[in-house]
């Protein structure tokens, strides 16, 4: 992982975990096409900033010569210092902003991953959707699968079970602000489910949403147990709401 000095909104940090507020437009992690500019690149630099500052050499050894991530050379060359690698236990799509918890140790990664697998983590999102949603709260249960020929995920009978709970936060002319809680974690679940009930998220043009400068979907609430103390940790983020409301017609 290439460390990069990228401005990050770190809302909490200790020796086990970090909680960050990811901006819209940033990938959570590198892909085979994009190796830099991601949240993990920035976190790798952030966690090792003091070590990087105190050496003018490549942290993986062999002087300042660059090595290819994942190469045999990298794995067999001892690092010049103990390199902290951030551990991703969940992710947000590039277009989605908001809260994410990141592990700073292998032990924290293992325990946090276990909480996500056992569905012990509570996540809630703000979404500005098109149209007037009927009722004050409810649920969406519709299976999600991938149409291989079209290379897209959608509601499909042969898909996997998917459930989302929703609650109205605010009503506006031809738009509704929802709080969404994914009970399952399917690919693009919130975007797909909102479009499925006829209220696509503003900015999600591929699913019929009104055009806007960004996707109006934000991870605004996160609750989990600290991997070391086992205490409940709770975080809120609503700074994007004025931005969402600026997208009202």
The candidate with the shortest Cα–Cα distance to 239, out of 14, 11, 18, 5, is 11
The backbone torsions φ and ψ at residue 154, rounded to the nearest 5 degrees and listed phi first, read -160, 175
Which are the catalytic amino acids?
93
Matching residue, tokens 């994942």: 70
Q: For the range 72-78, what are the long-range contacts, defined as Cβ-Cβ under 8 Å and sequence gap of 24 or more?
A: none
Of 211, 204, 11, 168, the closest CA to residue 102 belongs to: 11
C-beta of residue 200 within 8 angstroms of C-beta of residue 208: yes
CA distance 176 to 15: 40
The partner residues of 27 in beta bridges, in order of sequence, read: none
Helix (H, G, I), strand (E, B) or coil at 78: coil
């Amino acid at each position: 992982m290439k460390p990069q000095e990228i401005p990050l909104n770190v809302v909490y940090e200790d020796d086990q975990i970090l909680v960050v507020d990811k901006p819209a437009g940033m990938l959570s992690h590198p892909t085979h096409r994009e190796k830099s500019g991601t949240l993990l690149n920035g976190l790798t630099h952030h966690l090792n900033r003091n070590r990087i500052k105190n050496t003018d050499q490549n942290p993986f050894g062999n002087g300042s010569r660059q090595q290819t991530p994942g190469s045999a050379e990298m794995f067999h060359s001892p690092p010049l210092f103990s390199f902290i690698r951030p551990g991703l236990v969940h992710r947000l799509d590039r277009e989605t902003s908001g809260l994410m918890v990141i592990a700073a140790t292998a032990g924290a990664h293992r325990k946090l991953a276990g909480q996500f697998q056992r569905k012990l983590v509570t996540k809630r999102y703000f979404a500005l959707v098109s149209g007037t949603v009927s009722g004050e709260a409810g649920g969406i249960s519709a299976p999600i699968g991938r149409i291989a020929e079209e290379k897209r995920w959608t509601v499909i009978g042969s898909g996997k079970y998917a459930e989302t709970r929703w609650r109205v936060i605010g009503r506006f002319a031809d738009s509704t602000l929802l709080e969404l809680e994914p009970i399952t974690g399917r690919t693009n679940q919130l975007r797909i489910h909102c479009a499925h009930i006829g209220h696509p998220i503003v900015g999600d043009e591929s699913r019929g949403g009104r055009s806007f400068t960004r996707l109006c979907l934000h991870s605004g609430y996160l609750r989990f147990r600290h991997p070391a103390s086992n205490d409940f940790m709770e975080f809120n983020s609503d700074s994007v709401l004025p931005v969402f409301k600026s997208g009202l017609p």
